[in-house]
Every structure is written in C-alpha cells, then in structure tokens.
C-alpha cells in the first residue's frame, strides 16, 4: 500500500493536515539513519586510492584501536565514521563526517573530527605542497591535545595491513545507539531546564 502524501505544491501553502501526514514518515526515516550511514560507509570497501589498506579497513581499524583503548561508544563511532566523507567530499571529507556526526556527539568530538585532517597533515602535507603546520592555528584551542590524541593514537597508525580489527558488524550496535538520540538539531524540541520549570510554578 502506497504511503499517504501531502497535497501542497509550495511549502508556504502547507497545512497542519499535510504535516500530520509527513511527520510520522519523517520519524520512521530518521529511525533508519544508522542503516543508511553504514550502507554509505560500505562504499569505501575496496577503495584503496593508493593507500596500504582500503578506506573502509582504515576506518574500521581506527575504530578498533579506539575501542580497545577504552573509548566510549560516541568516540568509537566518530572514529569509525571519521573518513566517511571521502566518497562525496574529496576536497572536504572531514567537514562531511563532522556534519553527519554533529547532532549525535559531543561538541569536543565534533571539533576533533572536523579538524582531524589538518592535524594529520603534519605528517604528509609537506610532500604534496601544503603547509604541514596548518594545525598550529589551533594551538590555543581547548581541544588541541585531544585532536592530537585522536590522530596519533588511532588515525595515523590505522593503515596497517596486518592489524586484526574487529569486523564492521561489531560496531553496528554502537552506531545504532549513538544515532538513536540526537543531542542538537533544529528539529529537536527544546526541553525546559529545571530552573525554568521551577520558575513557572511560582
């Protein structure tokens, strides 16, 4: 049976009835986000781009290293998805990954993923005509050291063909948990803080 559809031809003419049709379907679509993310991540399988391991192996290896080092689900999922932007964002892959993760992870993790390429560039930008000290502009940032931790402990060493990573399937429940509850989104209804609730009782 075909799902019901709204009737407007221009959104400024939409009605409550239209949105009563749209919203349940939008909620179902949102609940399936983790599956779409994993499906897109799998596009990196077999894509070596000249690297010692393919891009999916690199992502899974990065996540495995973070998991085995005791990082929590959010961190491990961010590590798993840090290069998911390679497929559609060849010129800004870190921005793509950070945008996907932004509603679901801490501001710190979002910042680390958004800037990880500039930090990792310390080790190769000089070979491709770029400034390998690009990361220096963030030296006074409160999460500067944490960005280095991500790059040095998990991202940089994750090109080892002999490293035995966890299978991708191992991480899917973590992705599902992290993507189940957005923390920040324009579509997330604001919950009143405790002080506001108490003030309303006066």
CATH number of the domain that residue 112 is part of: 1.10.3210.10
Residue 186: its pLDDT value, please? 81
Whether residue 200 is contained in a domain is answered as no
| Dist CA 175 CA 156 (whole Å) | 22
C-alpha R_g of the chain: 20
Residue in 180, 161, 136, 170 with CA at minimum distance from that of residue 48: 161
Across 125-130, average pLDDT: 96
Residue 2 is assigned to a structural domain of this protein: no
Q: Is residue 27 part of a domain?
A: no
What is the model's pLDDT at position 197? 43
Domain that holds residue 130: 48-179
DSSP 200: H
Whether residue 68 is contained in a domain is answered as yes
Domain contains 62: yes
- Does this model's pTM top 0.85? My answer is yes
Looking at the structure of the chain, the number of domains it has is 1
- Confirm whether 66 is domain-assigned: yes
For 5-43, the pLDDT digits (tens) are 999 999 999 999 999 999 999 989 989 999 999 999 999
Map 154-174 to HEC letters.
Answer: HHCCCCCCCCCCCCHHHHHHH
Mean pLDDT (the chain, rounded): 93
Structural domain contains residue 22 = no
Please indicate, yes or no, if residue 194 is contained in any of the structural domains: no
Q: Cα–Cα distances in Å, from 141 out to 41, 137, 151, 180?
A: 30, 9, 16, 30
Query: What is the sign of the dihedral through the CA atoms of 172, 177, 183 and 185?
Result: positive
């Amino acid at each position: 049976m075909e799902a019901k559809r709204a009737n407007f031809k221009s959104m400024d003419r939409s009605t409550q009835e239209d949105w009563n049709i749209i919203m349940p379907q939008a909620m179902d679509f949102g609940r399936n986000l983790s599956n779409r993310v994993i499906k897109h991540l799998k596009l990196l399988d077999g894509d070596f781009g000249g690297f010692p391991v393919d891009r999916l192996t690199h992502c899974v290896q990065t996540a495995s290293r973070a998991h085995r080092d005791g990082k929590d689900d959010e961190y491990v999922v961010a590590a798993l998805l840090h290069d998911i932007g390679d497929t559609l964002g060849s010129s800004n892959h870190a921005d793509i990954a950070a945008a996907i993760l932004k509603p679901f992870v801490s501001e710190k993790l979002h910042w680390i993923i958004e800037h990880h390429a500039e930090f990792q560039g310390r080790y190769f930008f000089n070979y491709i005509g770029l400034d390998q000290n690009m990361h220096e502009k963030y030296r006074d940032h409160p999460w500067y050291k944490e960005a280095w931790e991500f790059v040095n402990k998990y991202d940089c060493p994750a090109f080892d063909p002999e490293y035995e990573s966890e299978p991708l399937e191992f991480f899917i429940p973590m992705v599902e948990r992290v993507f189940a509850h957005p923390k920040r989104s324009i579509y997330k209804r604001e919950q009143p803080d405790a002080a506001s609730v108490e003030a309303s009782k006066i």
